[in-house]
A and B are shown apart, each in its own frame.
Chain A
Amino acid sequence: MSEMKTGGQIIWESLIAEGVEVVFGLPGGAILPAYDDLAKYEYPIHHVLVTHEQGAAHMADGYARSTGRVGVCIATSGPGATNLVTGLATAYMDSTPIVAITGQVPTSLLGRDGFQEADIQGVTLPVTKHNYLITNIRDLPDALKEAFYIARTGRPGPVLVDVCKDALQASMPFTYPSKVNLPGYNPNLNTPDGTAVARAARLVNEAQRPVIVAGQGVSIARAEAELRQLAEKANIPVATSLLGIGAFPATHPLSISWGGMHGEAYCNYALQECDVLLAVGARLDDRLTGAFDTFAPKAKIIHVDIDPAEMGKNITIDTAVIGDALLALRALLPQVEANEHPAWLEQIAEWKSETSYRDILQQESDELVAPYVMRSLWHATGEGNGRATVVTDVGQHQMWEAQYYQHNQRRSLLTSGGLGTMGYALPAAIGAQMGNPGQELWVVAGDGGFQMTMMELSTVVQERLPIKIAIINNGYLGMVRQWQDVFYNKRHSGTPLFNPDFVKIAEAYGIRARSVTRREEAYDAIKEAQAHDGPYLLDFQVEEFTNVYPMVAPGKSNADMIRRPAPAVGSGK
């Protein structure tokens, strides 16, 4: 006979049954019974108190992306729950497995607009893979079991479980369910259809100018090794999406970097000119493709994805291969023939050398520009034996990080790609560090976005995390300023920033910090931060007006990139 347990106990014991070791949250009235049970029964779960629930959701996200496990966040009803929404939407867009648990007003008050009531199930309907409102403790165990199952299987995503306070306080005999009963849920766990795979292999074998686009699906499926085998066997150049960075080593000879709005020019040329495009675990969104009907115009497109709804959603495709990237690549590998593609690789090499000629770091200048900082960060933390994980915020610095930091390790870049959420970096890094103690972690954030969640510095200190922070301080909401420069006649409406002294901010939390203003200091400052046994903040006061190129205007074709200017010095092309 199973023992009587309260709703609060059921939550913690279910989490333990799911292998959860850490949760991120902040209490309030409606969730209090659960918090009390956590203390009363001394459950072996580490609760990380956050300063803002948005941070809790991003922490769960960073934890989940970096470990491959489900991240858990917890909040109270009303404002606690609504504060999670940005983090849930971020996770939803980037397919991160999260279980969010929220307290809700007691059932007797549901629908009465009582204190701190918000219909969080309704609010999160469009930004969760699924959600639950639990009004009766009877439904709680199944909901929790299903929430974890749904979050991590198939295309992962966030699931919210909203629990009324009286359900937390009630008791029932409890054993954690061993099975889920979800007749309407098909996570597509089977090996992809054989005819689709055979057709895909034939297209790849017949290709003269093939390109692979690898997305985050490769990393979610842990299929990096198989991807590499396939690329090497048939000598196919590999591009990634922004979220796919790290799925294929950036310094591999077959790597052609990443494509899209701010992708390398030679990568976009290759995507536009290829005759067969094998997209694996990438959802082909507008930031990657440019105007949909102009993308890869000469290519037969093979789309490998676990989500059938991605097939033909944006891009007209030739062959759909539905399934997990690992199973799909394993099925493809024996059917794809060894190949050389010398002319195609030579053409790409030519584009590549022309691209590096225009590299911003080729410009003769001794100014501290952000790309230089990013390249220094790579030299110091990622090159050779470097194994750092970088978590970026959103803006120009994010694009420069992606361009100038060469990610060779899987999951060494965490970034908000789909939603583009400013404020993501610091809390996501905290989550990643909690899941990977001892891992070198760098936050790269803009001066704007950092201020959106910088109160989580207190969480860094509270948890004694040795996170290193590089603020790319350009005095502007830089990426928006860039759009104003390019599309709005340089009218800088609402983009100049009034910044605090970030060094003093850090010091107020007891975090070591220094500012960096000159090129010569950059590498050494990074090394100094790296060597420090604890958190460290570097305020890089960079040249303010540098913009990110190449750039594809929204709605335009990737063929119409605004290129980096050719260097002014020497014998220009």
Chain B
Amino acid sequence: MSENGIKRHTLIAWMEDKPGVLNRVAGLFGRRNFNIESLAVGHSETPGISRMTFVARGTDRDMRQVRTQLDKLINVTRIEDVTYNDPVMRELALIKVQATSEERAEVMQLVDIFRAQIVDVTLDSLIIQIVGKENQVNSLIELLGNFGIIEMVRTGRVAMVRGAASQTGVVDTAVPVNGHY
């Protein structure tokens, strides 16, 4: 998993839901040469605050840069690296596969095993929806590849830390990193 301490980190950022904010975040990722693998953004429970989950590759120190630089964006209200908090992590994918009537049974079997769902059927195609951990999604996609994938979309990882404590993103925690490095 890790090589010279480099690994994939899951981060959550909360930001004001204002025009151009995503542009600022994306621009920063590019400009600072941060290695971002996926990114999912949508509303949070707080009106006016969006929540972004993103996956970044690097060392713990790299992630400190990601966090502190992102936190400098005026519209970003909070940011956390939840990698070590064992969060619930899910991804959703829609996969359109070619399947003749003979193949369909086989596909449906796979869908069952992966607890996925068929959400659209035509004579020679199916749309499959899966919600799961990234590696489950990957395995299903790989298997479906044998039938011929016509089209596919993945949301990227979303994450939430377990337990009752809420992370509302309205309080600015501003990543205090005083002390020992």
Residue A316 at the B interface, CB < 8 A? yes
- Taken together as a complex, chains A and B put the C-alpha atoms of A316 and B181 apart, in Å, by 8
Q: Which residues of B contact A319 (CB under 8 A)?
A: 179-181
Select the stretch in A119-127, A409-417, A485-493, A536-544 that faces chain B: A119-127
Q: Which residues of B contact A365 (CB under 8 A)?
A: none
Instruction: From B27, B71, B180, give the contact of A125 (CB < 8 A).
Output: B27
- Taken together as a complex, chains A and B put the C-alpha atoms of A196 and B181 apart, in Å, by 11
- Taken together as a complex, chains A and B put the C-alpha atoms of A195 and B31 apart, in Å, by 34
- Taken together as a complex, chains A and B put the C-alpha atoms of A558 and B178 apart, in Å, by 28
Give the interface of A toward B (CB within 8 A): 121-122, 125-126, 129-130, 133, 150, 182-186, 188, 192-193, 195-196, 199, 307-309, 311-313, 316-322
Q: Which residues of A contact B181 (CB under 8 A)?
A: 311-312, 316-320
Pairwise interchain contact A130-B74, C-beta atoms closer than 8 A: yes
Question: What mask results when residues 30 to 71 of chain B are scored 1 for a CB within 8 Å of chain A, else 0?
Answer: 010000000000000000000000000000010011001101
Q: Which residues of A contact B19 (CB under 8 A)?
A: 133
Offer 24 A-B interface pairs, CB within 8 angstroms, sorted by A: A121-B20, A133-B20, A150-B74, A184-B73, A184-B74, A184-B75, A185-B172, A186-B71, A186-B174, A192-B178, A193-B176, A196-B178, A199-B179, A307-B72, A308-B68, A308-B175, A309-B72, A313-B65, A319-B179, A320-B177, A320-B178, A320-B179, A320-B181, A322-B177
Give the interface of B toward A (CB within 8 A): 15-16, 19-20, 23-24, 27, 31, 61, 64-65, 68-69, 71-78, 170, 172, 174-181
Q: Which residue of B lies closest to A188 (CB)?
A: B174
Q: Which residues of A contact B24 (CB under 8 A)?
A: 125
Pairwise interchain contact B180-A311, C-beta atoms closer than 8 A: no
- Given A186-B71, A309-B72, check contact A195 B179 (CB 8 Å): yes
Pairwise interchain contact A186-B178, C-beta atoms closer than 8 A: no
Pairwise interchain contact A311-B77, C-beta atoms closer than 8 A: no
Question: What would 8 more interface pairs be, CB under 8 Å, given A122-B23, A308-B177, A311-B177?
Answer: A125-B23, A183-B16, A184-B78, A195-B179, A308-B68, A312-B61, A316-B181, A319-B180
Q: Which residues of A contact B78 (CB under 8 A)?
A: 184
Pairwise interchain contact B176-A184, C-beta atoms closer than 8 A: no
Q: Which residues of B contact A311 (CB under 8 A)?
A: 64, 68, 177, 181
Q: Which residues of B contact A308 (CB under 8 A)?
A: 68, 71, 174-177
10 closest cross-chain pairs (CB), A and B? A193-B178, A186-B174, A309-B68, A184-B77, A196-B178, A308-B68, A130-B74, A309-B69, A196-B179, A183-B77
- Taken together as a complex, chains A and B put the C-alpha atoms of A183 and B74 apart, in Å, by 8
Q: Which residues of A contact B15 (CB under 8 A)?
A: 184
Instruction: From A130, A183, A188, A193, give the contact of B179 (CB < 8 A).
Output: A193
CB distance from A264 to the nearest CB of B (A): 29
- Residue among A150, A184, A322 with the highest chain B CB neighbour number at 10 A: A184
Q: Which residues of A contact B68 (CB under 8 A)?
A: 307-309, 311
Q: Which residues of A contact B27 (CB under 8 A)?
A: 125-126
Q: Which residues of B contact A321 (CB under 8 A)?
A: 178
Pairwise interchain contact B69-A183, C-beta atoms closer than 8 A: no
Q: Which residues of A contact B180 (CB under 8 A)?
A: 199, 318-320
Q: Which residue of A lies closest to B27 (CB)?
A: A125
CB distance from B105 to the nearest CB of A (A): 52
- Taken together as a complex, chains A and B put the C-alpha atoms of A317 and B176 apart, in Å, by 16
Q: Which residue of B lies closest to A323 (CB)?
A: B178
Q: Which residues of A contact B175 (CB under 8 A)?
A: 308
- Given A150-B74, A184-B172, check contact A195 B16 (CB 8 Å): no
- Taken together as a complex, chains A and B put the C-alpha atoms of A14 and B12 apart, in Å, by 37
Pairwise interchain contact B64-A312, C-beta atoms closer than 8 A: yes
Q: Which residues of B contact A188 (CB under 8 A)?
A: 174
Q: Which residues of B contact A182 (CB under 8 A)?
A: 74
Pairwise interchain contact B74-A185, C-beta atoms closer than 8 A: yes
- Taken together as a complex, chains A and B put the C-alpha atoms of A2 and B96 apart, in Å, by 61
- Taken together as a complex, chains A and B put the C-alpha atoms of A273 and B20 apart, in Å, by 48
- Taken together as a complex, chains A and B put the C-alpha atoms of A320 and B177 apart, in Å, by 7
- Given A126-B27, A183-B77, check contact A322 B65 (CB 8 Å): no
Pairwise interchain contact B178-A184, C-beta atoms closer than 8 A: no
CB distance from B51 to the nearest CB of A (A): 13
Q: Which residues of A contact B74 (CB under 8 A)?
A: 129-130, 150, 182, 184-185
Q: Which residue of A lies closest to B19 (CB)?
A: A133
- Taken together as a complex, chains A and B put the C-alpha atoms of A183 and B15 apart, in Å, by 9
- Taken together as a complex, chains A and B put the C-alpha atoms of A195 and B178 apart, in Å, by 8
Q: Which residue of A lies closest to B77 (CB)?
A: A184
Q: Which residues of B contact A126 (CB under 8 A)?
A: 27, 31
CB distance from A282 to the nearest CB of B (A): 17
- Taken together as a complex, chains A and B put the C-alpha atoms of A126 and B24 apart, in Å, by 9
Q: Which residues of B contact A185 (CB under 8 A)?
A: 74, 172
- Taken together as a complex, chains A and B put the C-alpha atoms of A359 and B74 apart, in Å, by 48
Q: Which residues of B contact A129 (CB under 8 A)?
A: 74
- Taken together as a complex, chains A and B put the C-alpha atoms of A183 and B168 apart, in Å, by 13
Pairwise interchain contact B176-A322, C-beta atoms closer than 8 A: yes
Q: Which residues of B contact A192 (CB under 8 A)?
A: 178
Q: Which residues of B contact A122 (CB under 8 A)?
A: 23
CB distance from A370 to the nearest CB of B (A): 36
- Taken together as a complex, chains A and B put the C-alpha atoms of A125 and B31 apart, in Å, by 10
Pairwise interchain contact B61-A186, C-beta atoms closer than 8 A: no
- Taken together as a complex, chains A and B put the C-alpha atoms of A49 and B29 apart, in Å, by 38
Q: Which residues of A contact B178 (CB under 8 A)?
A: 192-193, 195-196, 320-322
- Taken together as a complex, chains A and B put the C-alpha atoms of A183 and B23 apart, in Å, by 19
CB distance from A426 to the nearest CB of B (A): 30
Q: Which residues of A contact B65 (CB under 8 A)?
A: 309, 312-313
CB distance from A325 to the nearest CB of B (A): 15
Q: Which residues of B contact A322 (CB under 8 A)?
A: 176-178
- Taken together as a complex, chains A and B put the C-alpha atoms of A129 and B75 apart, in Å, by 11
- Taken together as a complex, chains A and B put the C-alpha atoms of A183 and B174 apart, in Å, by 10
CB distance from B181 to the nearest CB of A (A): 5
- Residue among B20, B24, B75, B178 with the highest chain A CB neighbour number at 10 A: B178
- Taken together as a complex, chains A and B put the C-alpha atoms of A317 and B77 apart, in Å, by 27
- Taken together as a complex, chains A and B put the C-alpha atoms of A317 and B180 apart, in Å, by 8
